[in-house]
Structures are given as structure tokens and as C-alpha cells.
Amino acid sequence: MLDANEGTREIAEEIRTRLLQNPSRARQIGTFGFIELEETWGDETTILNTARVSTSNRRLSSVSQLTEKDRALLEHLLGEQHGTPFETVYFRYRFIAPIFVLRQWVKHRISTWNEFSMRYRKPISAFYIPDKTARTVNGFEIMTDEQVDRYADLLETVNRFYEVEYESICTRIDENRASGRLPQKSGGRDPFRARARELLRSVTPVANYSDVYWTVNFRSLMNFFNLRMKETAQYEIREYAVAAYALFGEAFPLLKEILEKIEQEKG
């Protein structure tokens, strides 16, 4: 079994800490996956005040002030898809997911995206292994246990290749510095080690995990939920979307209730 590198061990410990410190806003997904709703800006009053700006001077300062009329307006705005008021409420999620999931997720472009960089750090030496549910379709097992074992062995081999070759390159850099053939490191990022990381990251499999901060407005978040929670969405990103929706619901139970009421009325 591949030993996790130092950075991966630090992230694993951070996941454990965040799950303990923020249990209502954080979820573990699979063996190494993770998602947390770290922060939000704005609330139901922000949406209502924004929507009313052209028709009324009434302003709400607290969710506790909401009346049935306010709730009815929220239902109307959501039901009729009046989008712009919902662009004034923001969410910042942090998630750790396989790179192939990130490639789907980043297509939701009306957001900001800050990802773990393999130019500055070694890759996360943990990778996605599909469980029974992930590899079964209508009762048929797409990958057998034996195939999953070979899959995991191959991923371990590739990750071990990175660790071994990076260590070998760093040893040669140190030897050449000691002999005077390379200049001593003078502070900041080591250009030789940096280039090694840039070259070796090319072998990192898309099953490896990466770490992202995702900041998104509520309108775009609803679009993400609508597309990625569908049964036709890929299983792995759907797991994250369902978890993100549950965390949203913990933070905004009224909005979640209204959204689900509208969906029921449609259906």
C-alpha cells in the first residue's frame, strides 16, 4: 500500500479536524473526499431587498422580520426564475475531489475557482477507488473486485513513480549544489525542484484527489444543483452535489423548503 506523502497526511488531518469543528457544514465523501460550506454572504433579506429596489422603500434587516407576504414573494421569485436577486447571495465551499470530477465541476464557470497547485506542492497521494455502488448499474457489476484491485495497484504504481523520481531528482540537485555545479538556493521557490514538480505532475492520474475553494452565487448554485443532482449526472459528481445541497439546506432551511415545494408542484 502506498504511503501518503507529508502534504497528504496534513490534508487528511485537516479533514478530520473540520468534521469535528463544523459537523453541520462538512461531509466526508468516500475514502478521501470531503466538502465543507465554509462561509456565506447574504440571506433571504438580501434577495428580497434586491428584488424590491425598483418598487418599494421597504427594507428588511433580519430574517426574523419575514412575513407571509415576504415568503410569498420569495416563492414567486424562485418559481418564476427571476434570477438576478439570487446573484446577491454567495457561498464558499471547499471540496476535495478526484481530478476527473473537478473537470466536470469547473464547467460551471459563473464562479471563482482556486485549486491546489502541483507546481508548488507534490500531488495529493490519495486516489479514488469506486465502491460497489459506484461500479454497479441496474444490479450489474461493471468492474469486478479483481479488476478494482488491478486498478488500485496501477494507481499506486504511478503515484509511487512520482515520489521515487522526485526524490531522485532532489538528491541530484543537492549533490550538484554541494559540488558547485549548481548555485546554492538563495531564497524563495527553488527553480530546480519547481521544474521537477512541473514535469512530473504530467503523470498524475485523474483519479487522484485535488483541493479546491469554490465561491459561487446562489443563482449559479441552483443551476449546479439542477444539473448535477439529476439521476443522469455522473455518480461521483452527483455525490458531491447532493452533499453540497444538504449543506446549503443546513444554512438556509427556508430557501431549501421553498425550492422543494416548487419542485413538488412542478412534478
Active site members:
228
| CA 118 to chain centroid | 17
Is 126 in a helix, a strand, or coil?
coil
Strand blocks (E) in the chain: 26-29, 33-41, 90-98, 111-115, 136-137, 140-141, 209-217
Cell reading at 237 = 459528481
Contact status, residue 33 vs residue 131, Cβ threshold 8 Å: no
What contacts 88, CB < 8 A, 6 or more positions away? 42, 46, 47, 50, 217, 218
Do 253 and 42 meet the contact criterion of CB atoms below 8 Å apart? Answer: no
Distance in angstroms (rounded) separating the CA atoms of residues 83 and 76: 11
- Reference 215, options 50, 74, 105; nearest CA is 105
Which residue from 116, 76, 75 is spatially nearest to 96, judged by alpha carbons? Answer: 116
20-35 burial, b at 16+ Cβ within 10 Å, e below that, comes to eeeeebbbbbbebbbb
Rg over CA atoms, the chain: 23
